[in-house]
Structure 1
Amino acid sequence: MDAGPRDQLHHVRDTTFSEDASKIRIDGLPRVMATLRNLAISLFRQDNHTNIAATCRCTARDPQRPLTALGIT
């Protein structure tokens, strides 16, 4: 049985961003962080990247890249 889109998204968030190990527990911050992670994953997938971890590493080396992906620069 294939995992649904939510299960796949959670798997990526957990394996790439270590979401389950996060120490963020204050108010709504865990939900905010999950939303930001979902945004990053969605942007990477929109640009046809399949290896999210590798894309995160590449993006970390070029701080201008996320802004370009969002159409800000």
Structure 2
Amino acid sequence: MNRKNGKVSIKTVYAVTSLSAEQATPAQLANMDASQLRTGSAPRTMATWRNLAIGALRIARTHNIAAALRANSRGPKRPLALLGLT
């Protein structure tokens, strides 16, 4: 909740981990998110992942990149299907 205006917002967080879904619950992953990626090569790595995702959406002839990113973030299998990996 935003303390200034009292509005509730939803935050989408992307994580890269070697843990399986059975090994890490959403609550555990959210707890790990406390260490934000602001140092070393992490910002560049995350920008690379985002650029790859946008490139894949463009290859798939997606017209609204922002909407497609949101849609793909809602299901872990959607990006794999986009790449033909499922």
Given the two structures, how large is their TM-score scaled by the length of structure 2? 0.52
Residue in 2 that maps onto 1:56? 69
Per-residue deviation at 1:25?
Answer: 1.8
For residue 40 of structure 1, the aligned residue among 40, 45, 53 is 53
Separation in structure 2 between the aligned mates of residue 60 and residue 26 of structure 1, nearest angstrom: 24
Alignment: residue pair count: 51
Let me know the Cα RMSD of the aligned residues. 1.5
Q: Provide the identity percentage.
A: 49
- Higher RCO, 1 vs 2 (CA within 8 Å, ≥6 residues apart): 1
Residue in 2 that maps onto 1:29? 42
**What are the ranges of 5 or more consecutive residues in structure 2 without an aligned counterpart?**
1-35
Larger radius of gyration: 2
Q: Does 1:71 align with 2:63?
A: no
Which structure features the higher share of helix residues?
1
